[in-house]
């Protein structure tokens, strides 16, 4: 079970790119209108901070996961509570992403297919890759799918050049002001902050000490692409319409009219399915591995067969698309996960861990 750093780069990049593009743009557009791309820029800065703190943290214990080193840093009981906070995050994000995945597919593509069929397929696929391929399999998948996803995004952006109307992004800043722009930054920041999961992955890296650079690039590259895409949404669809759409990026593919070639939805679907697959597999691995370590289960792989059905059940908890897309994002992910799980706890662990290390060194 070994990951190369380049695989880590692709894993983080895909995990951040696909979901941020599709799920968070409406929220920033609603808050910051034509300045939403500036919001994404600030979101990128926050995400970089998260990545920076997380990588520094992993360097303290490069051969342990969060579940192990949180106990090492904060003692047995507080450490366990910290892990519980993350377990809540992992056990809710997987069903929610699955649900969002099936929502998009159902809303745009397969209107009459029962969502169970769509969700079951994805669960089988991600369980399979986690069970047989382990983290190495997921890494290799990302390495292959990553460039494909990037290419698709570039094609969607490039073919839209004809629809550009630059006036849509003007005037800059004056209309919305700093407050709205920062407010629009929160949702994308919370999705771009997924790099924090590196704290569960370092023990599998071949060269964990060199990982920091790859993690940072894994954040910077998607951030740049999301900025360009948001800008593209603003100057092609315009803010009057895009604020009312569920998935403006996917609508972008529908605007394309390249000569007689229309209806490019397939590109968006490829981007969507592949990036959701990679993201879910990584999270399923983290959830399974983390739970196994938490409960001190020897063979973590067998946990997949217990956790996958639990996730499947959770997937049907949200009643409708508003609950799965907006409520979770606005009531849990942005106000809680972003400040606590992504920034607060890693920072706390980093500070205390550093202090302990220094003390230990001083004692010896």
Partner 1 sequence: MTGNCRLFRGFIILLLLCLLMGCWDSDEIDNLAIVIGSGFDIVNDGQAEATVQIASPTGFPSAGNGGTEISPYLSLSEKGADSSEIINSMQQQLSRRFFLGHRQVIIFGEEYARHGIDQFIDLFMRSPDSRYTGYVLTAYGISAKDVLNASYVFENIPAIAINKMQEEGNALGTLVGEFIASLASDEKTTVTGAIRIVETGAAGNVYRIDHAAVYRENSLAGFLNEEQMKMLLWLKGKLQGSMMSIQFEPKSDKFRGKVGIVFFKSDAKIDVRLENEIPHVAVQMKAKAKMMNNDTPVNMGINENLQQLEKKFVEKIENTLNNILETAQKEWKVDIFDFAEEIHVQHPQFWKNTKDQWLELYPKVPVSFQIELEIQNTGRTQAPAHFKK
Contacts of 322 (CB under 8 A, 6+ apart): none
Q: Which of 257, 301, 354, 356 touches partner 1 (CB under 8 A)?
A: 257
Tell me the two tokens of residue 278: 């990679």
Note whether 170 binds partner 1 by CB under 8 A. yes
- Which residue lies nearer to partner 1 by CB, 127 or 341? 127
Stretch that binds partner 1, among 13-21, 153-161, 256-264, 270-278 (CB under 8 A): 256-264
Stretch that binds partner 1, among 47-55, 164-172, 186-194, 208-216 (CB under 8 A): 164-172
Whether the Cβ atoms of residue 282 and residue 267 lie closer than 8 Å to each other: no
In angstroms, give the least distance from the CB of 167 to partner 1.
6
Distance, in Å, from the CA atom of 24 to the CA atom of 326, rounded to the nearest integer, reads: 10
Note whether 151 binds partner 1 by CB under 8 A. no
Stretch that binds partner 1, among 60-68, 120-128, 221-229, 284-292 (CB under 8 A): 120-128
- Which residue lies nearer to partner 1 by CB, 114 or 147? 114
Note whether 299 binds partner 1 by CB under 8 A. no
Whether the Cβ atoms of residue 223 and residue 47 lie closer than 8 Å to each other: yes
Note whether 301 binds partner 1 by CB under 8 A. no
Distance, in Å, from the CA atom of 258 to the CA atom of 267, rounded to the nearest integer, reads: 14
In angstroms, give the least distance from the CB of 3 to partner 1.
27
Note whether 63 binds partner 1 by CB under 8 A. no
Whether the Cβ atoms of residue 201 and residue 135 lie closer than 8 Å to each other: yes
Q: Which 233-252 residues touch partner 1, going by CB under 8 A? A: 237-238, 240-241, 244-245, 251
Whether the Cβ atoms of residue 55 and residue 219 lie closer than 8 Å to each other: no
In angstroms, give the least distance from the CB of 170 to partner 1.
4
Note whether 174 binds partner 1 by CB under 8 A. yes
Residue 104 CB neighbours (<10 A): 23
Stretch that binds partner 1, among 207-215, 254-262, 274-282, 322-330 (CB under 8 A): 254-262
SS (H, E, C) the chain: CCECHHHHHHHHHHHHHHHHHHHHHHHHHHHHHHHHHHHHHHHHHHHHHHHHHHHHHHHHCCCCCHHHHHHHHHCHHHHHHHHHHHHHHHHHHHHHHHHHHHHHHHHHCCCCCCHHHHHHHHHHHHHHHHHHHHHHHHHHHHHHHHHHHHHHHHHHHHHCHHHCCHHHHCCCCCCCHHHHHHHHHHHHHHHHHHHHHHHHCHHHECCHHHHHHHHHHHHHHHHHHHHHHHHHHHHHCCHHHHCCCCCHHHHHHHHCEECCEECCHHHHHHHHHHHHHHHHHHHHHHHHHHHHHHCCCCCHHHHHHHHHHHHHHHHCCCCCHHHHHHHHHHHHHHHHHHHHHHHHHHHHHHHHHHHHHHHHHHHC
In angstroms, give the least distance from the CB of 89 to partner 1.
29
Q: Which 98-117 residues touch partner 1, going by CB under 8 A? A: 107-114, 117
- Which residue lies nearer to partner 1 by CB, 35 or 71? 35
In angstroms, give the least distance from the CB of 282 to partner 1.
22
- Which residue lies nearer to partner 1 by CB, 305 or 316? 305
Q: Which 259-298 residues touch partner 1, going by CB under 8 A? A: 262-263
Q: Which of 121, 148, 164, 224 touches partner 1 (CB under 8 A)?
A: 121
In angstroms, give the least distance from the CB of 73 to partner 1.
42
- Which residue lies nearer to partner 1 by CB, 63 or 240? 240
Note whether 177 binds partner 1 by CB under 8 A. no
In angstroms, give the least distance from the CB of 104 to partner 1.
11
In angstroms, give the least distance from the CB of 97 to partner 1.
19
Q: Rule CB under 8 A: which residues touch partner 1?
A: 107-114, 117, 120-121, 124, 167, 170-171, 174-175, 237-238, 240-241, 244-245, 251, 254-255, 257, 262-263
């Amino acid at each position: 079970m070994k990951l190369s750093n380049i695989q880590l780069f692709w894993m983080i990049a895909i995990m951040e790119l696909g979901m941020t593009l599709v799920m968070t743009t409406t929220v920033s557009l609603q808050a910051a209108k034509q300045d939403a791309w500036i919001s994404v820029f600030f979101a990128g800065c926050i995400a970089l901070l998260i990545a920076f703190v997380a990588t520094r943290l992993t360097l303290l214990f490069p051969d342990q996961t969060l579940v192990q080193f949180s106990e090492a840093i904060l003692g047995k009981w507080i450490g366990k509570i910290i892990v519980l906070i993350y377990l809540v995050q992992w056990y809710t994000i997987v069903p929610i992403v699955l649900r969002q995945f099936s929502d998009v597919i159902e809303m745009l593509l397969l209107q009459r297919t029962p969502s169970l069929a769509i969700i079951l397929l994805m669960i089988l696929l991600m369980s399979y890759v986690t069970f047989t391929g382990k983290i190495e399999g997921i890494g290799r998948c990302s390495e292959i799918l990553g460039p494909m996803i990037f290419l698709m995004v570039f094609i969607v952006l490039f073919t839209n050049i004809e629809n550009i109307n630059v006036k849509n992004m003007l005037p800059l800043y004056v209309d919305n002001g700093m407050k709205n722009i920062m407010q629009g930054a929160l949702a994308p920041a919370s999705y771009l902050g997924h790099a924090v999961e590196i704290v569960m992955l370092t023990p599998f890296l071949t060269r964990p000490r060199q990982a920091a650079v790859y993690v940072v690039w894994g954040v910077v590259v998607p951030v740049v692409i999301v900025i360009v895409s948001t800008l593209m949404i603003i100057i092609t669809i315009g803010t009057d319409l895009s604020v009312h759409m569920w998935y403006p990026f996917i609508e972008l593919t529908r605007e394309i009219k390249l000569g007689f070639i229309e209806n490019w939805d397939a590109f968006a679907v490829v981007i969507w399915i592949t990036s959701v697959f990679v993201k879910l597999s990584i999270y399923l691995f983290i959830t399974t591995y983390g739970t196994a370590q938490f409960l001190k289960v020897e063979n973590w792989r067998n946990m997949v067969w217990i956790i996958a059905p639990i996730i499947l059940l959770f997937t049907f908890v949200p009643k409708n698309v508003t609950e799965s897309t907006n409520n979770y994002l606005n009531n849990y992910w942005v106000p809680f996960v972003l400040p606590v799980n992504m920034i607060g706890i890693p920072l706390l662990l980093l500070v205390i861990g550093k202090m302990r290390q220094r003390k230990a060194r001083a004692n010896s």
